[in-house]
Structure 1
């Protein structure tokens, strides 16, 4: 292979296949002919040599074509030095294309000498001698080095030409290549000579089989890359391990990078690296070394990068954290589910802390009034709650593995930052609450939702309306749900102000017709009962009876989960269908540690229900909730509030109804000012986010933004289907066809191809689940990264191939099916049969 062919295939084509866009900076004009020869029907090449203005316009136009899928790749050739400083990049009109994709040269490995050493790996000495005489030899001079073909038996058996490809085949031979190597040993002598000449490996094994030679070759190649990358001297215990000379460094690093980046060889690389690490006892021998370089050849090195990221996070070095994240995104060890769980946790902690800092800086600008504070919450402050929930979900996903408590400092730091911000916000909220009262004039009150958004739709006979009453659907979840429902019709999200006290008993009653004017709390022996006029509405039956009396045969109700599971039929005369869901609140009340996962299932059910409602002829959907909630994971053991003196009834450890005097730790409002009618004069509660009882990880009932700002979603269902996902082909794969999983966090590869030219630009959403033989869910896509933490879905474009960690239930063992599902219809695109084979 000539040097030009090597540069074209191994550098330009290989990188364009990954990034689609690439800028080549070439002040010597060395690579111009190769670049211009790359143009094809689907690959545009822009030459910046002739006219800067013309080439700029051409590059912009071609980038647009790439976005419209008219072309697949864009290569921009610039006969100038690559800009290094930010100021130079701003002046360079072609820098933006490098940001969109890749840049050549991108490091020391891209200098001319390094590339020539990679192209002529078995003639490194001669290549260096040529460069000693001439620092800029022509391609023809390089091509002439070592003339003639060597290794005839290896070339014939392996069906490859270059030394680099022979080495790669000896490391990871295909089935055909492996069979050819087994049939004869005529290649062994050539292999010994080639390994000695190209990378300096003098084989010690006397075996003449590929397995014996392959074991030694793998150990030599991986250990050599580890040594080349090590900033300090090798420990004494490793100094006698065979290692390549410096002349072979470009080839060694190139081979390792190729093994890690090629999905066909990644699993083999992981297995070999883990075995070699254990064989050489690297974690123990090198455990004292703080800096292991930039490459994570072995898995224990990745753990040092994780620790460095944690240390950078602790000292608030955001640039370092981002740099480590960016580098790790390309790591082969993301193919291990256990590794992904660690990184997902630290990424979610970083995102939470960064968002807290951003909102803290802006808080003072929105502190002047309750209306301004609410506006900040619904526009961006609710993102803090979302990221906190996703962080706690990542903690839940990883805690069972963290037996040594490695992640405890990160957890404490993130929770402390969140708690600091949320308490600052709460002080402002309760201050304005006492001044302006509740609900805020001019904003939608939850008690008016039915009369304003549901009842008017039912005035016209024949209009079928579904009213979903979802317990504890706080505002940030409504934002996530709104995005997911967009494909089913015209969707609108409104913030509403929950009825005080923010408890289920009152909140669900406030969603009934006439609640805005008729809801009141009547004192009884054990507390207070909500009444609507003279009718008690404390139970589900009593609340549904209010609707039945008003709408008669036009009304039907049931549990949302039962509707999704086809356990009841909708009567033909029904025009108002009420579906009730309590899973979020129930799970948080009983299992707060794992409750974030239930949120995914609840939103999945809502989405499936909406799709079924469309099929059942419903044209309107209104989704409302009784209250929000707060996840109190940042509180310490003594972070509670003493009860206010007076005659009070304690509601949910966050609210007091009755009468008494205020103190410095409580807000106190008249019942009228708080928008509550009842047999009491006042309502009070903690000024902070504390409760009256210690150890509560989840609560509602009080007055705070997360508890009292709730979503109302209205949806006009469309009959026409959008984004025809059925026209896409989804494929699942596990470890190149393996049928047994050895970890409870297996990584599944999902690929998506379109069958329809009109679907090329569409995003497609996929739900990944594992089902046992009864159809019960025994594993789900682990939230975080590519997996939407609110919905559990993965969004792909045609041509995407991604790796997703499947989180299996701890107690399940046996055969199961991994299914790629349509999240709206739950129809399976494809499935994969697997079986557990856990070692412990």
Structure 2
């Protein structure tokens, strides 16, 4: 097709069909003949070249013919520039036809260059070259481009038509295409001509195999994109490297972007780019360059962008950090799990810093009373705790591979920012606490939870309620759990005030029946002993015996984890089931560095337990906790405080109970005012978040919003389950069918394929785990990106795809299965068999 035919058939005719009237403005008179040539029995062409007056009359007559349906279309050709302003339109006799119909040109897409590129997309390089030499090449010049270059052998062997698709197929041929290329070498001469014509590559290799041609093509293409994107001159050592001319830039960048964005070719691109970077010694030659552009063609550029983002974060240039993060979001290097872990850590750092700054700006408006501080905490401030927890989780995911300590300044900066905000909250909170007392009026107290939310329901015969006593479920985790359970029934989340001191021994006892009237704390030697009336309650069995005494055969209890694993049966006559979970507190006490990851596992188990309870006919679930906690990662070696002298019991290194001296660094309040009955006259503790012992990364026991304001969740079990996959398949794959992983952070491709648009309603949630033959979990989806940090799950809509990084256990090696699971029933949708092949 000639350029004239293209403009007539693909540009002007569609506008005439749509608008009936089209005005063509052409001051260069380039399009006059092709416009006149469009005249036909049903299409009237008015040419204003010779006489403006006559053509105006002719156009008016043509409009009348359109009205009578004597003709179907009218094209008005005006050899002048299109009027742009209203005043210019008033002086143009043909602007009225433009207003009631269509116009040409209309936007940048109608420029002569754009039209030529659209007409001959396979020859963009030659067309751009022609315009470089002459900004107004004739139609004959454009029509001559590409004449006779049909690449018949390449098209036949590769089964594709356009030059762009031929180039792409030569870079990453399918198995069938590779076999076809092996069977003949007649294509090689055509490939040489194609390379020269399209991207300016003069093939140097004398080899006639696909591999030798592809090696040179890959190097030329990637280096050309790198050179195009570089804002400054190439280093001298790379100055003579062959690269594409400027006219080929768009084609080069389009091919590279297609190779990076197509999941079928991403792993090949990564392997090729790494090899070319090493071969050309780019890291050495370009190591001193500050600005490498915006594309990360090669892996060393991605590392450079990471260093730029780190520097911006440390310099408080949050706009630059966000810009780099946004640009990198779709980078091919997120296909490498280790790289993704570092970017996720930086993203978590940036998000936490931004949130701390936002909260700091409005904090002063919420410190006038303890009630306003609590309201601010449950509505907004708890988001800082969530983001801090997710940041520490990202630190845990990346720390093992940060041998050079690259992220140490980032960790220090972020933790200091979070610590400053929390300390600014803590001062007013302890001051108001000392003046107002505890618990706050108008809020639910933990000691009332059972009697208010559980006991009344058990007065109904046959009503079955499960009471989950979860250790260390702080408020922000309750919010995350509320979101996870929202589809299981009518849910209510409310803040509750813990029983002081905020430790497990006291807090779990406060969750028992009649705790509000019976709980008291006694002193035995140097120990604190909870009692319910005259009965000592210091162990799990004693707590459960207290409930059993109240409810007898209607009551059953057990560990939540064992219930989830079906290790005990719940009798059909059981109306009160107590499930105990200690994993969060236990993991933080023993492994604080990796504990944030365990939190998502604990929430998963609660979710599965709720689903099982629904299946077993329970009507309601109440979830309560003994205390919150604080992650003290910002504290330095000297961030401790001295205990007060006197007759005190030191409780969890965060508070003192008894009596003695006071000082300005401690709050001090009567036990009665703090809501504590028993043998202790006073409660005291640090006004700051400091503890009495250094090195504590996690603690509770003191008085802070994080330790003392906790969630209580009531869930009426009803509603529909997650939509079931019917005409849909959950599909897992790894590196186009590879069966061995060579990294402890492999990236798995996950997708939901459907036969039709009605196959799955709404969104679909999937839990990804690596399991051994015995069912032991040896790898989990790394939080961040598409993986919800709280649930550990991935949510997709029908037809969507995602790349998910698995975090394999460091000590595991061998065969395993990657399983896509229903997060509530743990049913397996599909699985992928792999094995490790780590290079030691």
Instruction: Report the TM-score when normalising by structure 1.
Output: 0.86
Taking a change above 3 Å as real, the CA distance of residues 131 and 215 of structure 1, as seen in their structure-2 partners, is closer
Tell me the distance in 1 between the aligned counterparts of 2:137 and 2:485: 60
Q: What's the counterpart of residue 632 of structure 1?
A: 632
Contact 2:667 2:687 in 1 (8 A): yes
Query: What secondary structure, in the 3-state scheme, does the structure 1 residue paired with 2:417 have?
Result: helix
Alignment check: 8 A CA contact 1:117 1:251 kept: no
1-side partners of 2:200 and 2:136: how far apart? 25
The corresponding residue for 2:129 is 128
Contact in 2 for aligned 1:131/1:137 (Cα 8 Å): no
Offset from partner CA, 1:184-239 (integer Å, 9 cap, x none) = 11111121222122222222222110001100110011011111111111112222
Farther off after superposition, 775-784 or 111-120: 111-120
Deviation at 1:320, TM superposition (A): 1.3
Which residue matches 1:531?
A: 531
SS of the counterpart of 1:405?
coil
Contact 1:127–1:142 (CA under 8 A) maintained in structure 2: no
Tell me by how many angstroms 1:635 deviates. Answer: 0.3
Contact 1:603 1:790 in 2 (8 A): yes
* Contact 2:3 2:119 survives alignment (8 Å): no
Map residues 13-32 of structure 1 onto 2, 5 A cutoff. Answer: none
Partner of 1:438: 438
Following superposition, the deviation at residue 247 of structure 1 comes to 2.4
Give the match's secondary structure for 2:438: coil
Counterpart in the other structure of 1:146: 146
Offset from partner CA, 1:649-693 (integer Å, 9 cap, x none): 000000100012321110000001000011011000000000000
Tell me the distance in 2 between the aligned counterparts of 1:694 and 1:311.
31
Q: CA offset at residue 134 of structure 1?
A: 4.8
Question: Is the alpha carbon distance of 1:132 and 1:678 closer, same or farther for their aligned partners in structure 2, counting shifts above 3 Å?
Answer: same
Q: Are the aligned partners of 1:465 and 1:618 in contact in 2 as well (CA < 8 Å)?
A: yes
Contact 2:116–2:142 (8 Å) recurs in 1 = no
Secondary structure class of the residue paired with 2:264: helix
Output aligned runs, 1:309-708, within 5 Å: 309-708=309-708
Alignment of 1:254-265 (within 5 A): 254-265=254-265
Unpaired runs of 5+ residues, structure 1, are 8-25, 31-78, 82-103
Cα offsets for 1:358-391 (capped at 9, x unmatched): 1111111111111110000000100000000000
* TM-score using structure 2 length: 0.86
C-alpha contact (below 8 Å) 1:556/1:577 kept by paired residues: yes
Match of 1:817? Answer: 817
Aligned residue runs from structure 1 range 192-203, under 5 A: 192-203=192-203
User: Is the CA contact 1:118–1:254 (under 8 Å) kept in the aligned structure 2?
Assistant: no
Matches within 5 A, 1:84-103: none
Structure 2 unaligned segments of length 5 or more: list them.
8-23, 31-81, 85-105
Q: Which runs of 4+ in 1 moved over 6 A?
A: 1-7
CA distance in 2, matches of 1:584, 1:80: 71
CA distance in 1, matches of 2:538, 2:659: 23
Q: Which residue of 2 aligns with 1:191?
A: 191
Structure-1 separation of matches of 2:197 and 2:756: 51
| Contact preservation (8 Å) 1:310, 1:346 | yes
- For residues 31-50 of structure 1, what are the structure 2 equivalents within 5 Å? none
Per the alignment, do residues 243 and 6 of structure 1 end up closer, same or farther by CA in structure 2, a change over 3 Å counting?
farther
Structure 2 distance, partners of 1:790, 1:105, is: 48
Residue 114 of structure 1: CA displacement? 11
1:744-755 equivalent positions in 2, closer than 5 A = 744-754=744-754
Does the 8 Å contact 2:628/2:710 carry over to 1? Answer: yes
Contact 2:130 2:137 in 1 (8 A): no
SS in 2 for 1:264: coil
Give yes or no for contact 1:443–1:497 (8 Å, CA) kept in 2: yes
Question: How many angstroms apart in 2 are the aligned matches of 1:677 and 1:725?
Answer: 56
The count of aligned residue pairs is: 749
Q: Give distance in 2, aligned partners of 1:4 and 1:498.
A: 81
Q: In 1, are the aligned partners of 2:445 and 2:496 still within 8 Å (CA)?
A: yes
How far off its partner does 1:253 sit?
1.3
Which range is displaced more, 211-220 or 717-726?
A: 717-726
Distance, in Å, in 2 between the alignment partners of 1:782 and 1:636 is 28
Provide the C-alpha distance between the structure 1 equivalents of 2:112 and 2:586, rounded to a whole number of angstroms.
62
The alignment status of 1:762 with 2:782, answered yes or no, reads no
Q: Secondary structure at the match of 1:784?
A: coil
* CA distance, structure 2, for counterparts of residue 622 and residue 80 of structure 1: 71
Q: Which residue is equivalent to 2:737?
A: 737
Distance (Å, rounded) in 1 between the aligned partners of 2:396 and 2:626: 26
Distance 1:469 1:186, change over 3 A: same
Quote the offset at 1:491 in angstroms: 1.0
Partner SS, residue 263 of structure 1: coil
Q: Is the CA contact 2:125–2:251 (under 8 Å) kept in the aligned structure 1?
A: no
Inter-CA distance 505–355: structure 2 relative to 1 (3 Å threshold): same
CA drift of 1:494 comes to 0.8
Tell me the CA shift for residue 150 of structure 1.
Answer: 2.7
Larger Rg: 2
Offset at 1:729?
Answer: 2.1
Query: Any conservation in 2 of the 1:118–1:250 contact (CA below 8 Å)?
Result: no
- Report the CA distance shift for 1:358/1:120 in structure 2 as closer, same or farther (over 3 A): same
User: How far apart are the structure 2 equivalents of 1:756 and 1:213?
Assistant: 42
Find the counterpart in structure 2 of residue 270 from structure 1: 270
Deviation for aligned residue 1:524: 0.8
Does the 8 Å contact 1:352/1:387 carry over to 2?
yes
CA pair 645-747 structure 1, distance change in 2 beyond 3 A: same
Deviation at 1:4, TM superposition (A): 12
1:170-189 alignment runs, 5 A limit? 170-189=170-189
Give the corresponding residue for 1:13.
Answer: none
Displacement of 1:144 in angstroms is 5.5
Contact 2:771 2:779 in 1 (8 A): yes
Question: Could you tell me which residue of structure 1 aligns to residue 117 of structure 2?
Answer: 116
Q: Where does residue 66 of structure 2 map in the other structure?
A: none
2:721 corresponding residue in structure 1 = 721
Q: Distance in 1 between matches of 2:466 and 2:822?
A: 22
In 2, Cα distance between the equivalents of 1:173 and 1:193? 19
The answer (yes or no) to whether the contact 1:123–1:146 under 8 Å persists in 2 is no
What's the CA shift string for 1:773-822, capped at 9, x where partnerless? 11100000001111111111111111110101011111111111000000
Mapped partners of 2:302, 2:4: distance in 1 = 36
Shift of 1:447: 0.7
Deviation at 1:156, TM superposition (A): 1.8
How many angstroms apart in 2 are the aligned matches of 1:533 and 1:759?
A: 60
Q: Are 1:773 and 2:783 matched, yes or no?
A: no
Instruction: Tell me how far 1:737 sits from its aligned partner.
Output: 1.1
Tell me the distance in 1 between the aligned counterparts of 2:138 and 2:529.
Answer: 91
Q: For residues 591 and 520 of structure 2, what CA distance do their matches in structure 1 show?
A: 32
